[in-house]
Amino acid sequence: MKYVSTRGTAPVLNFEQAMLTGLARDGGLYLPETIPTLDKAEIAALTGKSYEEV
């Protein structure tokens, strides 16, 4: 998964790079480039599961 700055001018990083870098060079925060969506069935399947199971 790739991570981009909220301000849009810092380089795109992988997870490890984003975690070790902290704030982006442009002062923004690193967020995933895309956020996966879950349909209702997938969300329902999570009901009752522990954090570790998810």
> DSSP assignment of 28-45, as one string?
--EEESS-----HHHHHH
pTM: 0.72
Predicted pLDDT at 32:
97
Exposed e or buried b for every residue in 1-12, given b needs 16+ CB within 10 A?
A: eebbbeeeebee
Burial profile 22-38: b = 16 or more Cβ within 10 angstroms, e = fewer? eebeeeeebeeeeeeee
Domains of the chain with CATH codes? 2-46 (3.90.1380.10)
The pLDDT tens digits for 7-48 are: 999 999 999 999 999 999 999 999 999 999 999 999 999 999
Whole-number pLDDT of residue 43: 96
